[in-house]
Amino acid sequence: MLVTRDTGKSAGSRERGLPKPDDLKDYNYAVAGHAGTMCDADGELFIKPCTQSEVEFYESAHALHPDFAELMPLYIGTLSLNESTDQATIHAQIPGLVEHADIPFSIKEEIQSHLHLGDRPRVVEATVEKPIVSDNVKWIPNKARKITTDRAVVLENASFGYKKPNIMDAKLGIRLWADDAPLEKKERFDKIAEETTHKKFGFRVAGMRVYKGSTDESELDEEGFKIYDKDWGRFTVNEANIVDSFKKFIFNEAAGIDEELGKTIAGAFAQDLRRVQEVLENEESRMYSSSLLFVFEGDGTALRAAIEEAKASDAVSEHKRGTTRGPVSNLRVDSGIGMNEEDLCEPTTAEDIDDLEEDSDDESSFPHIYTVKLIDFAHAAWKPGHGPDENVLLGVRSLAKIFEEMSE
């Protein structure tokens, strides 16, 4: 599910011009992952260098696995990169890309970036054969966190449209390495899994940012966020404190998110995670070092206003700006969490969700409340005949239980 956004060009919407070369900038909301990501000036487009195999995974998911594609960020297309690529070069590729992209027309109008993909080849269901790297090949960790590639995917930015987006990256799995990984990499990643929450829970927090996450201003960045880096997730979060660590992400009186409001958001995340679980249990794929990205409005006043605005709206858009459908629970909860009209604090009930299930075809504008996305597919492939990806599902189920516990 994407966060609630305009489904089209309503009377109050404005035309969004194409980004200028100087408007492209480094993406500064990443809490984990590789360096080198960029976004346009207003942050709506997310440009991420990636491998060809990741491009192929996005393409095949979009063409052949629609339920799985719902869990991914909206895929716009790809850009070409080389040693001489600069912001101007990237800008020159943006104006024609979406014309051939299989996304709704309303998004093409709003994003206004017709990226030229050319004619797409027919996508066939096939496992990409990768060469097996000998265990004798020395692996050198990429400390610069940049990947060598000539492609970048263009995605819709999941954190766009929030006033103060709280973001958490949860890396999934016990086994974190793909079949073609060198022995040294396998051993290092196995050690990380053994020493962290990967071992029991099937995930670890790879990074987190929380608006007003500390009363000590020296611990906040220039935008007022406390940053929890990868070392926090590796060395501080453990079996004994894992739920309390997650509460730092959800509950925050300093930002105006009290217990009841936090419980509602936790419950919304829990429902989406059960949908993620359902989809993955019906797919045959393998993903290594993929993550779930959690985003919600971290400013309590803005969060309450967004919920109130969504609740007051008569229609709930089925397609979230006309995009492919998100998880069923997101279509209902994300567009209008069932709240008490007096204090907007009552947790969402199953009846509230059912009341919102009948979505309207009207093009309405909804505020941004929360979103969950499955990300990072550099080491992902479809594996027909191999069954569900239990390595990843362990983490998804564990996360669902934690959010369910926080919602109670």
Q: What is the pLDDT of residues 69-96, one digit of tens each?
A: 999 998 888 877 766 666 666 555 555 5
Q: Tell me which DSSP letter residue 100 carries.
A: G
- Is 60 exceeded by the pLDDT of residue 313? yes
For the chain, give the percent of residues with pLDDT over 70: 60
* Residue partners of 278: CB distance under 8 A and separation at least 6: none
Q: In this predicted structure, what is the pLDDT of residue 372?
A: 96
- Is 70 exceeded by the pLDDT of residue 204? yes
Listed range (222-236, 252-266, 304-318) with the worst mean pLDDT: 304-318
Q: In this predicted structure, what is the pLDDT of residue 83?
A: 63
Residue of 318 and 218 predicted with greater confidence:
218
For residues 116 and 319, what is the distance between their CA atoms, to the nearest angstrom?
24
Q: In this predicted structure, what is the pLDDT of residue 97?
A: 57
Q: Specify whether the CB–CB gap between 324 and 66 falls below 8 A.
A: yes
Listed range (103-107, 264-268, 316-320, 346-350) with the worst mean pLDDT: 346-350
pLDDT band at 111 (very low <50, low <70, confident <90, very high): low
Which amino acid would we find at residue 320? K
Q: What's the start-to-end Cα distance of the chain, in Å?
A: 24
Predicted confidence (pLDDT) per residue in 10-50, tens digit? 333 333 333 444 454 554 555 544 445 666 545 677 888 88
> Exposed (0-12), middle (13-18) or buried (19+): which is 258, by Cβ within 10 Å?
middle
Which pairs count as long-range contacts for 345-352, CB under 8 Å and 24+ apart, including other chains?
345/258, 345/260, 345/261, 345/264, 346/260, 346/264, 347/260, 347/263, 347/264, 347/267, 347/407, 348/264, 348/267, 348/268
Q: How many CA atoms lie within 13 A of 151 on its CB side?
A: 14
* Residue partners of 217: CB distance under 8 A and separation at least 6: none
Q: For the residues 247-265, what does the mean pLDDT come to? A: 97
**Can you tell me which residue has the tokens 């564990």?**
398
Q: In this predicted structure, what is the pLDDT of residue 383?
A: 97
- Is 90 exceeded by the pLDDT of residue 68? yes
Residue of 109 and 98 predicted with greater confidence:
109
Residue of 137 and 150 predicted with greater confidence:
150
For residue 287 the two structure tokens come to: 């993903």
**What are the backbone dihedrals phi and psi of residue 44, each rounded to the nearest 5 degrees, phi first?**
-75, -35
For residues 182 and 185, what is the distance between their CA atoms, to the nearest angstrom?
5
For residues 29 and 251, what is the distance between their CA atoms, to the nearest angstrom?
20
Q: In this predicted structure, what is the pLDDT of residue 150?
A: 75
Q: In this predicted structure, what is the pLDDT of residue 79?
A: 79
For residues 158 and 40, what is the distance between their CA atoms, to the nearest angstrom?
13
Residue of 257 and 155 predicted with greater confidence:
257
For residue 172 the two structure tokens come to: 């999934």
Helix (H, G, I), strand (E, B) or coil at 51: coil
Q: How many CA atoms lie within 13 A of 14 on its CB side?
A: 3
**Can you tell me which residue has the tokens 């265990």?**
135
Total-model pTM: 0.73
CA dist 399 to 244, 269, 334, 359, Å?
Answer: 13, 9, 19, 28
Give me the chain's average pLDDT, please: 74
Helix (H, G, I), strand (E, B) or coil at 318: coil
For residues 326 and 2, what is the distance between their CA atoms, to the nearest angstrom?
7
Residue of 246 and 150 predicted with greater confidence:
246
Q: For the residues 59-74, what does the mean pLDDT come to? A: 94
Q: For the residues 178-184, what does the mean pLDDT come to? A: 94
- Is 90 exceeded by the pLDDT of residue 142? no
For residue 350 the two structure tokens come to: 């199953």
Strand segments, DSSP code E, in 327-382 are: 370-375, 380-382
For residues 298 and 210, what is the distance between their CA atoms, to the nearest angstrom?
7
